[in-house]
Structure 1
């Protein structure tokens, strides 16, 4: 009997568990370690923040999925590895032994180089922490809508733009018109335009949308400090000298890896992500695989985006089966360009692929909604 251990309930592992449920492999014992019972689907998260989806619609329940795959499920947080003894260390369980290990734990926004950010900002990941803070802020707004508030997002990539638009749209739906202007929205980005890795069309269009909706865009601004004032408000200091006070700050910047990964002895890149080959296999330890944001494809580096985690699910499953059977592995080849559908929070979306863009259109949001619901249906049926 061989032990296959999966750390994390990300998109790739959810797909792999579904495949193991449908195509059981004799002679293996599967263990899933995840610090959440319900894992968020990144494609639906902005729609959830905008009020289009329920919590259940935007999350995959890992418990029935693990049961169907006949996997032991530990709701716990992995904190380290012993690569000599092939063990996973957890916060609240004894060490868990493995023959084959797969890691799909996502990433977190990098905050270490900005004093105060790790203490006072709300990181976009882990998602449960983001949602708890969002619900708390939403409750405060509804309890005293007449009070003036200010909300800031640091990071002008697709995640930061979509989060800001979704939150604003949802609060506008909940508040009476006379109270909507009591909330100010700010977005800080270090480049000269938002969505730097997307088409110029998408960047220009979404900038215009944000400006029309009264969202303050602070471009070419690097946040250098975040500190709490005696008034309990947060002060953002920028390298340029710009200073703004806010009530909440969402941090949606470049991704970072948990410290325990680089401390484990696995080969990592300069940001601490696990380096893998075309088989999604660690380049330093052949019995360890990684996928999603936590992995860096050595031969085909790609942005940290949910679309790649989804596409890696099936080849990851196939390679886990093959290595358990001591057979040759298959290669995963990511697409050169990928389509991004960015919701505006009000039932429309902008499409971006390579140099091209389209929208905002309700038809694009309807298409995105259909894609996301179809993906989630495979776990709910």
Structure 2
């Protein structure tokens, strides 16, 4: 007597962020029988955010920080759909990607990152570039560097937002243009009176000293009124001439999430301790696009990386009827902050720790993270 096999279950990963990349790597070592895996991503690669300041500074090539999703998906036995998801029909369990038929799912996970776009700022969309998503920004930056070298653009950069990300970008941009023989003019703009507020005193002192030593102009207490093709205009009436304007002010969610009907917190998908949407058990969310309702945390790559084993376990459990695992994020973490040249500052305790050795430490961690996607392990057949 023949018994019918259960139909395959479809798991769809929306976005090739750090968490999903790690899930694919582990899934390939031990796939779940009867489960079909699909990855949706705007391109065949996904950038690793930790190495972006090094790319801006010229320490890394673009290839060094791109996770190649094609061999990774093949390793996991996953179908790869190149396109940007723009909607989820939760009633029919379909994901909509322009140019593709609707993609069915039994379980889905969202890992699409954030944007640092400033949609409410006049002129920003036409004359500036957000630092995130990283892929589009990296393209725009390399084009700007090439145009300054050819004398087609002035080596002036204005960075809106003087948190850690903005400071890293400003110092890296200054280093790259100076090494290329330019005389860069870099301006950091922030509406607050105090900058790099999200690090301890030792790291902040190191960063402030570098801002001064490298001649980066710090413009605080300055609201931006408008961005034009050649300058940034402040609410005070001051005008800052620039060849490139970069937005690094805060983390903003992808807009299409508002149309999913998922519960959101400030636009981010609200998830429970199992990384599941609080109002749809068929959808998970991880990385910067998720809000941890049980333990809110700042947006940082370290949480995305450490969510990976929990998401993997829970996708397996949800597909096979197993027990879900709780994600308990750490309360604090080590920040290694690039300072333009091959120097970095460490932010973990109150003391000041900086220099070339800290940069080599950061470089080792970043390269080790990327190596695991190039040296894929063998599939287990037992």
Q: Taking structure 1 as the reference length, what is the TM-score of the superposition?
A: 0.93
Deviates more, 1:97-106 or 1:128-137: 128-137
Q: In 2, are the aligned partners of 1:351 and 1:357 still within 8 Å (CA)?
A: no
Q: What is the DSSP-based 3-state SS (H/G/I as helix, E as strand, rest coil) of the residue aligned with 2:50?
A: coil
The structure 1 segments of at least 4 consecutive aligned residues displaced by more than 3 Å after TM superposition are none
Q: Which moved more, 1:149-158 or 1:276-285?
A: 149-158
Counterpart of 2:25 in structure 1 is 18
Q: 1:84 to 1:69 in 2, by over 3 A?
A: same
Aligned to 1:171: 177
Alignment gaps of 5+ in structure 1: none
Pairing partner for 2:236 from 240, 249, 256: 240
Report the counterpart of residue 225 of structure 1 in structure 2. 226
1:346 aligns with 2:352: no
Matched, 1:374 2:368: yes
* 1:286-314 residue CA offsets vs partner (Å, 9 max, x unmatched): 01000001000001111111111111111
2:265 matches 1:258: no
1:201 match: 202
1:193–1:203: 8 Å Cα contact kept in structure 2?
no
Q: Per-residue displacement from partner, 1:203-242 (whole Å, max 9, x unpaired)?
A: 22211211111110011222122123xxxx1x32223333
Q: Quick check: 1:108–1:256 contact (8 Å CA) kept in 2?
A: yes
SS in 1 for 2:171: helix
Per-residue Cα deviation, 1:89-123 (whole angstroms, up to 9, x for no partner): 00110100000000000000141221111222111
Secondary structure in 1 matching 2:95: strand
Counterparts of 2:42 and 2:246, CA distance in 1? 22
Give unmatched runs, 5+ long, in structure 2: 1-7, 376-382
Whole-angstrom CA distance in 2 between matches of 1:240 and 1:137: 28
Q: Does 1:284 align with 2:285?
A: no
Match in the other structure for 2:81: 74
**Does structure 1 conserve the Cα–Cα contact (< 8 Å) formed by 2:50 and 2:301?**
yes
Counterpart of 1:296 (choices 270, 291, 300) is 291
In structure 2, relative to structure 1, the CA distance for the partners of 1:357 and 1:310 (3 Å cut) is farther
User: Is 2:335–2:346's contact at 8 Å kept on the other side of the alignment?
Assistant: yes
Query: Could you tell me whether the CA contact under 8 Å between 1:195 and 1:202 is conserved in 2?
Result: no
1:158 aligns with 2:159: no
Cα offsets for 1:109-158 (capped at 9, x unmatched): 1412211112221111121211111111111111129x754210001111
**Match of residue 314 from structure 2:** 319
> CA 1:248–1:357 in structure 2 vs 1: closer, same or farther (change >3 Å)?
farther
Aligned to 2:5: none
Q: 1:357 to 1:143 in 2, by over 3 A?
A: farther
The worse-fitting range, judged by mean Cα deviation, of 130-139 and 107-116 is 107-116
Matched, 1:330 2:337: no
Matches within 5 A, 1:81-96: 81-96=88-103
CA contact (8 A) 2:117 2:129 kept: no
How much is the aligned-residue C-alpha RMSD, in angstroms? 1.4
Secondary structure class of the residue paired with 1:214: coil
Give per-residue Cα distances to partners, 1:258-292, cap 9 Å, x unaligned: 2210111010012x110001111000100100000
What's the TM-score once normalised by structure 2's chain length?
0.93
